[in-house]
Amino acid sequence: MKGFKAFLMRGNVVDLAVGVVVGVAFGAVVSALVKDLVTPLIAAFGGQPDFGVLYFTVNNSKFLFGDFINAVISFVVVSAVIYFFVVTPYTALIARLRKDPPADPTTKPCPECLSEIPVGARRCSFCAQPQPA
């Protein structure tokens, strides 16, 4: 029992549980956004097609391919909304906040003649003075 308790209290399991809960809540927000805002916009411009009534029958078995088409359209719309309203702004924000560390200098000034010389130089190529290590 002690090992099971240690497994449950590990940081990875708790982080995963929190991630799943936040993901479910975020999924509800995205579904509401698509259902309440995006779908009415699409219906305003192109009408509201419903393919749910399309089917064909083979040996008294109904194949509801219209529901499948509705599911595919819903998936594409949800994916597009997530990409354009979540992924793209998030990526731009992260790129704006990320600051690359400055590159290591490749040159330094010579203390004698103030010429720019390579960092690893032992003597200045302009005035031939020895350089401090």
| pLDDT tens digits for range 87-124 | 899 889 888 888 777 788 899 999 888 899 999 888 99
What is the topology classification, in CATH, of domain 2-97?
Answer: 1.10.1200
**Helices 11-33 & 65-82, crossing angle to 10 degrees?**
110
Q: Where are the domains of the chain?
A: 2-97, 104-133
| Mean of all residue pLDDT scores within the chain | 81
Beta bridge partners of 5: none
Q: In the chain, which ranges are continuous DSSP H helix? A: 2-9, 11-33, 39-46, 65-82, 88-97
Per-residue tokens: 73: 């359209």
Q: Which of 47, 42, 46, 44 is nearest to 74 (CA)?
A: 42
**Taking the model in full, what pTM does it have?**
0.47
